[in-house]
């Protein structure tokens, strides 16, 4: 494995530029980037058909939750 530079500017082992890692990170930019990557990764999952059995189980859980809420004052 190649050495990693200590200034935080570049991880030569993986060839990644770690922009901004030497200073405080811009958390909004990090969250935005992670969100975009997750949306790209899981877009097809959101378009898949939801299994009927899972829908039935969720309906049963909702009904049980509603019944429990009615029993509580």
Categorize the per-residue pLDDT at 20 as very low, low, confident or very high, splitting at 50, 70 and 90.
low
Instruction: Give the span between the Cα atoms of 25 and 6, in whole angstroms.
Output: 17
Collapsing DSSP to helix, strand or coil, 50 comes out as coil
Examine the pLDDT at 17 and tell me if it is beyond 80. no
> Comparing 17 with 1, which gets the higher pLDDT?
17
CA 68, CA 73: separation in Å to the nearest integer?
10
0.85 exceeded by pTM? no
List, for residues 40-67, the tens digit of each pLDDT value. 999 988 889 989 999 999 999 999 988 8
Residues 53 and 71: their CA atoms lie apart, in Å, by: 27
Sign of CA dihedral 57, 43, 31, 18: positive
Structure tokens at 16: 């990644």
């Amino acid at each position: 494995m190649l050495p990693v530079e200590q200034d935080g500017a570049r991880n030569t082992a993986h060839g990644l530029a770690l922009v901004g890692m030497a200073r405080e990170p811009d958390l909004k930019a990090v969250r935005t980037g992670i969100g975009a990557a997750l949306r790209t990764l899981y877009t097809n999952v959101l378009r898949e058909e939801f299994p009927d059995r899972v829908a039935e189980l969720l309906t049963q859980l909702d009904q049980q939750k509603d019944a429990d809420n009615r029993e509580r004052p």
